[in-house]
Amino acid sequence: MSGILFANALYFAIGVGLLPLLRIAGDRATLLARLPLAYLVGLAATGIVAAHLALVDVTLGLVELVVLAAVVLFLGLRRVRGPESASNRLSLAPEPPWSRALGAAALLVALVLLGHAFATYEVRPLLEWDGWAIWGTRARALYEFGGATGPVFTSEVYLPLQHPLLLPSLEAIDYRAMGVYDPTLAHVQLALYAIGFLLAFVALLRDRVPFALVGLTVLALLSAEPVLKQLSTNLADVPLAFFVSLGLVGTGRWLARGERWTLVAGTLFLGAASLTKSEGLVFALAALLALAPFARGRLRELGLAALAVALIVLPWRLFVAIEDLPIVEYRFRNALSPGYLSDHSDRVEPAVRGLGGEIFTWDWGLLVPLVAVSLVAALLARRHALAALAALWTALAFLGLVLVYWISTIPIELALVWSGDRTIVTVVLGAASLAALLAGEALEGSAERASSSGRDGRREARTQGALVPGGTGATEDAASRRPARPDGTAPASLSPP
């Protein structure tokens, strides 16, 4: 256990170094405020590097990880500026004590739940078929052989071969850190993913969204039955959903506020998602496509983000092409073939019905109504771009999944039974994660509208602003035209005095 915890402490250290290097935090105070983001940033970045190195049979063990952490931490901390300027300060606007208390209580409950999950995961062996047959086999093979050029990753005996290597690479590091192959203890890594998700979610939203909303939303996400149940199976669907959700929150906040640091963090998470499962690329592409129509004047930044995601996934796609890895379940080119799609159009209706049925189930609690109401709130507050992003991404992600089932060669009923409840997790979790941002932005929009309606309105805005961390008065459109600081922090006018 100590080995796996040490490896994860190193992921955190790498994340701390990367925050300044990626301009997510430029000065000490900002670094401290965004520290909860560090663990998952480090996990994602290390997973990407380890997955790429595995393609050329280079092993990332504990010694290499220590060196990497030391170098990244040294370089990162050298970039950190001293005491922050007042305009950069990430101070939180006054928020009613009940809101902070409610948010803190919800986060505490969520952490207790994750502690409970941690205790279960550490005694839960690999049980579910795909958990050992696909993901467990790949992780163990990376641990045993040190790389991905052998038959386990290239021979048709080991089909399916199309799954990317981020999750198995991280588990292989854990085995090396423990010095033994222990597939039960490796489940602890999955619980740490969830804790990292919680911390990153809070870090991305807490200075924009009332703490009560942040805490209650993340608790609702993690409490939903499919999340911790499916996470325990060692399948990659929930880690994928975590990365995509954070990618959406980061890029969504950039869309609403023009803060470059959230775009950088969001892009990293979308890149990690595209290396976690093949569908990750579909979901990342859906996010970038959904952002494009509303990022007027900022298409260069968005283009760079898209390029970064493409560069992250490129080595894996090259490996797939060079090794000519067969994908027996579907062929991407069929998605572009009108003839094939027409011939198999009888699969669409059951796919839509099956996947839709997985969304509208009580297992998710009230996450779907939460998304709907947050969309209404954002539209009422004229946060049209953000609302459109949420709606468009959800539609594109869902249609992307339908397309995958459409071109799949597995009988549709069987395909849905095998994986429908898993693949839908990212759609639900991604949309629900945006709900907190939508609601927070709606509140701020409400304050702005009040402030623009005269003196009385300004007084009211101050009252309302007390509910809005970082409440300002900037409209979404104005914010979208305003450049972010070079260090990626919020423009001064977005920070409360």
Partner 1 sequence: MIRVAVAVCAALALLSSALTLPDTWRWLADQRDDLERLGPADRVQAPGFNNRLPVGGFDFFRANIRRGDKVYVLARPGTTVRGVDFPTGARTFARYYLLPAIVVERPEEATVVVGIGRDPAELGLDYKTELREDDFYVGRVSDPA
Which residues of this chain interact with partner 1, rule CB under 8 A? 102, 106, 109, 113, 116-117, 119-120, 123-129, 131-133, 136-137, 140-141, 144-145, 150-152, 155-158, 183-184, 212-213, 216-217, 219-220, 223-225, 227-229, 232, 362-367, 369-370, 373-374, 376-377, 380-381, 435-436, 439, 442-443, 445-446, 464, 467
Distance of closest approach, residue 62 Cβ to partner 1, in angstroms: 20
Distance of closest approach, residue 281 Cβ to partner 1, in angstroms: 26
Nearer to partner 1 among residue 66 and residue 113 (C-beta): 113
CA 234: distance to chain centroid? 18
In DSSP terms, which residues pair with 4 in a beta bridge?
none
Nearer to partner 1 among residue 282 and residue 427 (C-beta): 427
Nearer to partner 1 among residue 156 and residue 343 (C-beta): 156
Nearer to partner 1 among residue 150 and residue 350 (C-beta): 150
Q: Please give the Cα distance from 473 to 62 (Å, whole number).
A: 49
Residue 76 contacts residue 45 (beta carbons within 8 Å): no
Distance of closest approach, residue 14 Cβ to partner 1, in angstroms: 29
Distance of closest approach, residue 26 Cβ to partner 1, in angstroms: 31
- Return the structure tokens found at 312: 């992250």
Nearer to partner 1 among residue 195 and residue 263 (C-beta): 195
Nearer to partner 1 among residue 50 and residue 381 (C-beta): 381
Q: Please give the Cα distance from 461 to 449 (Å, whole number).
A: 8
Distance of closest approach, residue 51 Cβ to partner 1, in angstroms: 19
What is the CA angle 209-212-216, rounded to 5? 105
* 438: Cβ contacts below 8 Å, ≥ 6 apart: 374, 375, 377, 378, 383, 386, 387, 390
Between helix 187-205 and helix 425-451 the angle, nearest 10°, is: 20
Rounded to a whole number, what is the distance in angstroms from the first to the last CA of the chain?
46
359 C-beta neighbours (distance < 10 Å), count: 17
Nearer to partner 1 among residue 265 and residue 377 (C-beta): 377
Distance of closest approach, residue 200 Cβ to partner 1, in angstroms: 18
Distance of closest approach, residue 493 Cβ to partner 1, in angstroms: 22
